[in-house]
Each structure stands twice: as structure tokens, then as C-alpha cells.
A and B are shown apart, each in its own frame.
Chain A
Amino acid sequence: MQAHQRMLDPTPNGQNSGESPLLRTIGLTKRYGDFLANDSIDIDIWPREIHALLGENGAGKSTLVKAIYGLIQPSAGEIRWQGQRIVLSGPSEARSRGIGMVFQHFSLFDNLTVAENVALGLDGKESFKDMSARLEQVSKTYGLPLDPKREVWQLSVGERQRIEIVRALMQDPKFLILDEPTAVLTPQEADQLFIVLERLKAEGRAILYISHKLEEVKRLCDTATILRGGRKVETCNPRLETAASLARMMVGGEVKEVKAASGRKTTLPRLVVNDLSLAPAEAHGVRLEHISFELKGGEILGIAGVAGNGQDELFAALSGERLSKDPGTVVIEGIAAGHLSITQRRKLGAAFVPEERLGHGTAPRMKLSENALLTGHAASGMVRRGFIDTAATLKTVDRATETFDVRKAKRDPEAASLSGGNLQKFIVGREILRNPAVLVVSQPTWGVDAGAAAVIRQALLDLATAGAAVLVTSQDLDELAEIADRIAVMFHGKLSAPLAASEASREKLGLLMGGSSLEPKEVAHAAGA
């Protein structure tokens, strides 16, 4: 093991030179079968440091932090905590040593109260009453207000994250891991989080911060470790790097820039939504309230908003998964379609790409050709006299593969066997190849690597250039800024008036995402654009 202990780059925190790292992994390796999720990773975390962990999906970030938090056992290598080698039996041991974690997909229980959720994250040595009192105190000290008696399903995403953070802080951790904490926050909520993190750092704690928002990392973090394909590529000071140079290290090459064709012309409205209201279908769903917008051919409308504000419900109402009593609420290509089924809407020239790739966008255990048939059967001649034209379905797969650079092991594999980015390219490709008049796409690049994301965004721009109307729902404001002509924000089932992309600053969008309204003058001006 000594051989591994090579000299590491001096950390940018000069003041730490006399101390030893709080946590150090040496040659940490995690193997799943033949697959190396982590390949001998060395990382040093110092007290009073915010350390970024960067990498694309599948680079091994989650695996690494799971090993540090004791959720998985490394196959080889070691973890040193305050200079001593430790073997963690599980998260509760990690917590008792002072390692806390805030999960990306919250580890909360929807049907339990805030206080119960916090209690479950602690080790139960104090009474529920004492714990509740301490919860109140911690949440007050750090300015993270919480109502301990409410059940989690009633809370917003930002509030849920507060529970996670307070829960972690109540264990007084020396080292806190945050897995993509700002992915679901409005810009303003993210700013508040940064204040809390700076304060934790000032208190002498160390923070490991996973993110792929590079500007954020440059602003907040002292050190950045970049992983690619399970290996450590570099440890650097993000403040001395540019976003582009960090992206290069993550991807291992240049990321193609997305370009909009100049002089795109808008034509007649192809998708119109008139005063659409819809009661929620599920117990915890959102009610859509009076949603109206008009989308012309050649135009991309972006819908921003924190997840769970009615985007899923709006998608279901547009795609025909849920029908509306009044046909006039959804008009596709001039035809009232609110009462029409999914297939009938597709026949009108609409195409839909849902957020969830596996299970919603594709049937995971079916082949790509079968999946192509499932959405294209009504409109693109893959069925003849009730029989499947196998050659035509395979041709569709080949065309999508070629046009969108889908990488797969064989010609026609099961959908579930593709990586997220490749499957998403296939799904978007399958719909675009049908030359839709209207494309409704939800979270087109969620969990997709940067290369594939660029391909998909470019394809959406090209489709609009060709005259289609494109509606993109996304939580990624940078993505919307890159491709959308106008941006509207969804909040509590209501849709704001769209802002022209040039006027839609992060601040304005952030206010709308948090439920505040803009000055009336400004909205009127933007709506006229």
C-alpha cells in the first residue's frame, strides 16, 4: 500500500499544509463483475475545504461517495479517516464517525412527517421529544426553516432538501457529502444553499460537492477532482480553470457547440393550448390551472420550473395520456384535439418524448425495432394489413442509429441495454425521423452525457429550423437559454406568460420558479414579443 502513497499535488489551501487530510482514499477500487466503476482513485479532503467532484454520468462519482459513506464495500484500496485506516460496516458507522451525506435522489419517506424523517437519519439515542427540540434549534441556527409536523409529500423540492441537510447537520458532521444539491433548486434557492455551505466551511467542516454545473463549482469550490470512466483525471483549483477547460477534462475532448440557424422563420401556430385546467390523477399530483400558450412553426418554447410543479401533468395532457373534456383546450395543427387519444394526436403530426426513458419512453425489455413500432405504428407504415413489417421497423432503427450516432452492441438490442445518452438519442431520433409538425419533449438531456446532449439539442434546433413547433420542458436553465426562443415558467400548476429568451435572465426565471411574479409591465412587454 505504501507504493500508492505518492506525493499529491499541494492543495490550493496553503493554510492546511501543516495538517493531515481529514479523509483520504488510496487506490480505492470498486468492481461490478468485469466493470470497474472506480479504478484506484486517490482523493484527499482537507478540513475547511469545499471539494468538488466532477464527472459525467457513469464516471463513478456516485460509486465513490457510496463507498466513503459505507453504503458499498470497496473491492480494493483503503479509506483513511483522520490518518487512520477505516473499514465502514455501513452508513450508521460513517455517521457516527462524522461523515454525513445529502442524497441526490432524496432518501426521504413521503408518508412520514419531517420530524420522523429526521429521526430515521439519526441513531435514536435521544428521545423523540429531545430530537424535535434540537431539530428546531438547528434549523433556526442555519436559517433552514422547517415545520416538523408536516408530511413530506406536502413539501416542495427545496423544502425536502432542507430536511436532508438539517438531518445531516444534526449529527454535527466533520465531513459532509452533497450529491448534486442544486439540480432541483431555483437559482435563488441555490444561492441560499451556498451561504449555508460557506458557513459550514467556516466552522471547519469539509464538504465534498458533486455537481456538473461548472460555473457553480468555480464560484464555490476550493478544489476539484475530475473523474472520467471510473478513473481520476485531475485534481485542480477550479478558480484557475475555465468552464470549458473543466468540461474538456470531464469529457476527454472538445464538446461540440450547439448552433442555431440564423434567420429562422416562424409560421402559423401549430400547437395551441387554451385555458387548460385538469385535476390531478394521482394522490400527490398537481392540478393544472388555466394554462394557455401558442406555439408557432419554427419556434422552440421552453418551459422551466422546479420538478413537480405540473410539468408531468402538462405533458400527459398534451400527449393524450390524459384527456380533457373540452376538445378545444389542446389544438394541434388547427384541429381541436383535447379529447383525442395518443394515436390520433400522432396522426395529426404530433410527436412526444417523455421524461422517463425506460418504462415511459420505451418498453425496457423490448427490442429497439419493437419500440420504434410502438410509437410509429399509426403514422409511418410499419404495419401492413395488421401485420408487422419487420424490415421497415429495422430500417427505422438503422436510420435513427445513423442520423443520431446511437452506439449499441448489436443491430437491434433491448432498450434497457443502451446507456442513458444513447437511448435518449434513439428516442428523440425515432420521433424526429417521423418529421413531426409538433414535438413535445420533456427533459431531453436529463442524465445524458455532454456529447449526446449536444447532439440532441442540435437536432431539436434543426427540427425547428425545418418548420416544426417544438415544446421543451427542462429544469436546466442553461439548456433552455441555449435552444429556446421563448421561455415560460411552471409553478404550482400555473404557467407564466412566456419571456423572450433574450430577456429571460436567470434572476427573472428564478423569481418565477419560486412563485413570485414579475412587474406587470415587464410581463406585458415580454408577452408581446
Chain B
Amino acid sequence: MELVEAIILAVLAASTPLLIAATGELVAERSGVLNLGVEGMMIVGAACGFAGAWLTGSIFIGALFGIIAGTLMSLIFALMALGLAVNQVATGLALTIFGIGLSGLIGAGFVGERITPAVHLYIPVLADIPLIGRVLFGEDGFVYFSVALIAGVWWFLYRTRAGLILRACGDNHVSAHALGYPVLRIRTFAVMFGGACAGLAGAYLPLAYTPFFIPGMTAGRGWIALALVVFSSWQPGRLVVGAYLFGAVTILQLHAQGWGVGIPSQFMSALPYLATVIVLVLLSRARTGGSTAPAALGTVFVPDR
């Protein structure tokens, strides 16, 4: 019983940064912008988040630092890819490379330091319910926030006029412009939201996952978040499935390796990727008709005035 509970908790912890980062990127891509700099924004968020928490002793301020750092990184992207209409793929890749270097510089003084990680909530009685008690009522704040975040994004995209306009920009920026919507401004906000989420997701790692900072600690999670957005066919509901599935298989294969299952460890390590791809491909095949990707994704838009 306790093992199952421990596994579920570990799965949530492993999935949360993916979910947060992918949610931000989903919004950016729905507006038509492909920002491949998620990994870079995350790692800078991790370094700044740790720095903030170490300097002030507050996890909350650390998280705030992460969000601000991610947003600033995304503004560099917005300036290049939207303001100057530079190729989005190249700009995103450059942002990641830049972010990895910058985070090493910011975090250099903090390597080896420790902080007290984010406290887990503990609601007496409720949290003591076996199996689900800790999972539902004894998590850290990031986990609850990530669930609220994706629900909020779903509501925003499909239930508000602003969300409709954002999706319209991603579908056809020429039409959106012709109807008088400020395409570039809307996209800039979407990219900034993506940056803020990536920064927060990065900050989650040293603030709640492991209580210290090491260079390169995002370890490719930004790329996985990007892949999740694509495989979820840009739909928030499927993104949740994908993120938790990826986290679950990651943790389970670790345990399986510990139990000594006779399968090469390399294959086991590849399993989360394989499982996520297969499940999400099956999901997207089930959808009939209609293209799934935002039609204007990754294309440069220069309004003619």
C-alpha cells in the first residue's frame, strides 16, 4: 500500500514540470508561434528560481524569480521572431543554447548549496485517508497550481472571446489581421505566457523536486514538453493524459529496474518516450477530419500597413 502511494506521489512530482511547461507552450503554439526555446527558458527559470529562494529563504519568491526569468527569456524570442520576423525555429534553438549557458553562469555560485524544499500541504484526517489521502490533500503547491493552470487554459481557449481570438491568430493570421486583430501583440502575450510557464516549470525542479541546483538539471524536459504539445494535437485534455503518462512510465520503469526485471536498462529508460508516443498517436488517429495543428504555426507574419 505504501509503495503504491509512494509511486503515485513520485509520478505527480515527475509529471508536474512537464505539464506546466507544456501548458505554456500549448498557448504559444495555439497563437501560431513555435518557440523551441522551452528547454532554455526552463533552465534559466531553474537557476533564477533557486537563486531567489536561496537569497530570500522563500520558495514563493523563488518561484516568482523563475517566472520572471522565463518571461524575460521569452521576450528575447518575441523581439526576434515576432518583432524582427526572424525564422522561429532558428530563434528558438538559439534561445535554448543561450539559456543553457546563461543558467550555468547564474547558477555557478549556487552549486552545492541546499535549500529547504517546498512544504507539502497536510490537511489532518483527510490526508490520512489511505492511498488517495496524501495524493489529493498532501501535495506541494506546484502540483495543485499545475492542475488549476491547465483547467484555466482550457476554459480560456474554448470559453472566452479572448481565447477564440488567440486560436484565430494561430489558424490564419492574414484573416485575423484583416478583421483588425493585433496579431503580433496577441502572439507576444502568448509567447510571454509560455515563457512564464517554462520558467515556473524550471523553478519547480530545484524548489520542490530536488532541493539543490545543478547545471543542466532540466535534462531535456523542455524538449519532452514540446513533444507532448505536438502529440496531444494541441488539446489541453490530451496534454494532461500525455504528461501524467510520461511521468508514470518514467517512475514505473525505475522501480522495475530496481526489482530486477530482466530487460536491458537502456530499453527501460526509453520506455516513457515510446509509451507516450504510441498512446498519443493512437489518440490522434481516433480524431476524424480537421487538421490538428494550428494552420499558421511557425510562419512569419509581417502586417502590411
Contact = CB atoms under 8 A, between A and B. Distances in A.
A108 B164 contact: no
A124 B180 contact: no
Interface in A295-354: none
Contacts, number: 66
A487 to B, nearest CB: 32
B283 to A, nearest CB: 16
Interface string A114-140: 001001110010001000000000000
Contacts of A108: 172, 175
B175 A151 contact: no
Contacts of B291: 110-111, 153, 283-284
B164 A116 contact: yes
Contacts of B181: 120
A65 to B, nearest CB: 11
A73 B304 CA distance: 10
Nearest to A88: B180
Most buried by B among A71, A92, A105: A71
A72 B305 contact: yes
Nearest to B296: A109
Interface in B153-197: 161, 164-165, 167-168, 171-172, 174-181
A395 to B, nearest CB: 37
A103 B175 CA distance: 9
Contacts of A128: 161
Interface in A152-210: 153-154
Interface residues of B, number: 22
A72 B305 CA distance: 5
B180 A92 contact: yes
A153 B179 contact: no
A86 B11 CA distance: 61
Among A71, A105, A109, A119, the one with the most B-chain Cβ atoms within 10 Å of its Cβ is A109
Contact of B171 (A103, A105, A111, A284): A111
A164 to B, nearest CB: 10
Contact of A112 (B167, B178, B180): B167
B161 to A, nearest CB: 5
A70 interface: yes
A278 B294 CA distance: 26
Contacts of A90: 180
Contact of A109 (B175, B180, B289): B175
B290 A120 contact: no
A91 interface: yes
Contacts of A119: 161, 164
Contacts of A106: 175
Contacts of A107: 172, 174-175, 178-179
Contact of B164 (A91, A95, A112, A153): A112
A91 B178 contact: yes
B295 interface: yes
B168 A153 contact: no
Nearest to A89: B180
B164 A121 contact: no
B289 A112 contact: no
B179 A73 contact: no
Nearest to A283: B291
A121 B179 contact: yes
Interface string B269-305: 0000000000000000000011100110000000011
A120 B177 CA distance: 11
Interface residues of A, number: 28
Nearest to A95: B180
Contacts of B178: 71, 91, 103, 107
Interface in A70-87: 70-73
B180 to A, nearest CB: 3
B172 A110 contact: yes
Contacts of B177: 71
Interface string A276-287: 000000011000
Nearest to A72: B305
B180 A70 contact: yes
A120 B179 contact: yes
A70 B178 CA distance: 10
B290 A111 contact: yes
A110 B171 contact: yes
Contacts of A151: 290
A348 B73 CA distance: 57
A109 B168 contact: yes
A427 B177 CA distance: 33
Contacts of B176: 109, 120
A106 B171 CA distance: 13
A283 B290 contact: yes
Contacts of A109: 167-168, 171-172, 175-176
Nearest to B178: A107
Nearest to A153: B290
Contacts of A72: 304-305
B29 to A, nearest CB: 13
A83 B181 CA distance: 28
B108 to A, nearest CB: 45
Given A103-B178, A107-B179, A110-B172, A124 B161 contact: yes
Contacts of B171: 109-112
Interface string B130-169: 0000000000000000000000000000000100110110
Contacts of A110: 171-172, 291, 295
B175 to A, nearest CB: 4
A110 B293 CA distance: 12
B179 A91 contact: yes
Given A91-B178, A91-B179, A106-B175, A120 B165 contact: yes
A154 B290 CA distance: 8
Contacts of A103: 178
A106 B175 CA distance: 7
A73 B303 CA distance: 13
Contact of A154 (B165, B172, B289): B289
A39 B167 CA distance: 38
A92 B165 CA distance: 14
A120 B167 CA distance: 11
Nearest to A151: B290
25 contacts: A71-B178, A72-B304, A72-B305, A73-B305, A105-B174, A107-B175, A108-B175, A109-B171, A109-B172, A111-B294, A112-B164, A112-B167, A116-B164, A116-B168, A119-B161, A120-B164, A120-B165, A120-B168, A120-B181, A121-B179, A124-B161, A128-B161, A151-B290, A153-B291, A283-B290
Q: Which 5 A-B pairs have the closest CB atoms?
A: A91-B180, A107-B175, A109-B171, A107-B178, A92-B180
Given A107-B179, A108-B175, 13 more contacts: A72-B305, A91-B178, A91-B179, A92-B180, A106-B175, A109-B167, A111-B171, A111-B291, A121-B179, A124-B161, A153-B290, A283-B289, A284-B291
